[in-house]
Structure 1
Amino acid sequence: MELSRRKKPVYLQKEQRGHGLTRLMTFLLLLAFCVSGFSYALRVTIFDESTVQQFVTQKEFVQEVNQKLNTVLAATAQEYNIPSRLTTGLLTEKQVKADLTTAISNIYAGKTQPVDTVLIQQQVKKNLQEKATALSIPTDNSIYQTAVSTLLSGLQSELQTELNTQKLAQPIKDFTAARRVNQQVGIIALSLTVVLLVLLLLSERNFWNWLHYLGLAALPAGIIILLGSYLLTALPLTERLSQLEFDLSGLAGSVIDLTAKQLNLVGVCLFAVGVVGLLLGWIGRRQQRS
């Protein structure tokens, strides 16, 4: 006579299925916490226009760009027979700072030609006029006017060549797409987080159990984000930028450091939520059993 297999009671089977669903929701909540944290850190740092403008318009970087542009402008002006007394400082730091601010705004607006070369031409023309007037150089003669007009007409191509504006088109498109994707992913992850928290509470119908599983999801998520922050600062991400026309390694390093700080903040907050959730959940569940 064959022995019949022992079957678990129905209520135990339902309880196991319930625990399996809870574990799945907890795991999904962990992933949602991670994605939301990374997305938020990127959104308020590298994908935030005002934040990047603050870094780009720092005095050291503005001076570097100003010096480079003035060197190019002076060499170009001398080629068009502009008097050497007028070729120094054709752009001021204030103008370069405004140009950089405009360029960043254009990049975040998705424009593939971020540098306003027409504006730079107008600035150079104005500065030439002011310098000539200050040095008592006559500007109403045809020779001077022809030289300046020829300079300004050739200045746009020189600036585009020097600034590699054509090479910026594809990176700007990629950046715009990445920014859009990050925004969409952040919204989806945040919505999923809220939905999972509600479903977890409805599934458990116990506040202390809900806190326990919240802690189980938040604690490892915080650790993962903190690990990501460490890797972000440890990896040599800025080496290639130092080989460009303008050394962007210092600028990029500052933005990366700020992003890492935001990740640290998010990671610590999630870690704290996890610890508090596990602790309160453990206390509450223990009191219920006693």
Structure 2
Amino acid sequence: MVRFVWNPKKGLFYFETRLIKGTLVPTGKLHGVHRLVYRENGFDWRGTYPGDLPAYGIRRGDKLFFLNVYHLLAESLPAGKVTGRALEQEYNVINNGVELILKPSKLCPVTHRLRYEIKEPDIIDLTVSVTPHRCLRAYEVWISSYITSRAVPYIYVYNNPARKDLRKERFVPVLENEFIRDWWGGGYVFFPRDNVAARIIYDGRWGLKYQPFITGPYYAKPLIVNLNERSGVALILMADLEACPAVYTSWIRTSMKERANTAEYFALFGANLEPGKTKTAKMRMCLREIDRDFDLPLKLYMDFVRMH
């Protein structure tokens, strides 16, 4: 049975299931899951921050968080204008979780509702609903997670159809290479869902003649497996395919000094919004021992799809 307890001194909820334990911060700039531990080995899956970030009260080496609302973007709402961390917020307690409400602003006239639900044995479900108050084109909600660099991120992508020796779809690790390192000093790798989704980053929302991404192949499923190869345990992130135009990830550096965290972003919606019409997207995060059996994350993804 899930244990979900409020800690008034720290302003957060403590949760515990059969396989995981952690904390959930219900409001503020750093809302979301703040601690996530696999109970069998006590491993904390949070990444750390490599520098100081005074606007968020973060110092070098501080632990980060999962399932936090970051960029809010549209064709007329470029990057850097507004984030979910800056909007006025309130929250309600629900069964084994919370509902966070991000209120509309002049720059971002959208009401966001986020339901965080803790479930047995190792699941954290996130439901994101958006209700716009004016029309917005190609609206995106970015959900951010910052994961320990001891785990290697694997993306589930389509293969080159000319490669008859490979499966049509497979998991590929996002590792350092000269092209990624030498361009922009790093950047992020962008895995779109399809042709329409791939065009979103080029509509000007990231500025003129600039967008901080290297475009990878199309994803086959919006599914990232972060595998700790030593323990065989993986942190798995997934989303609705129809509601997820793209996933983004940083890459695993060769040098341990550079390994602060792996930043992963699921862009949700990417669709035109009309006033008063609510759209909903779902995500799931779980910790599971897979021992390099990559068929297991696919089974978990199909379970997620069937549940929704």
Instruction: Normalising by structure 2, report the TM-score.
Output: 0.21
Whose relative contact order is higher, 1 or 2, with alpha carbons under 8 Å and at least 6 apart? 1
Structure number having the greater helix percentage: 1
Instruction: Normalising by structure 1, report the TM-score.
Output: 0.22
Structure number having the greater strand percentage: 2
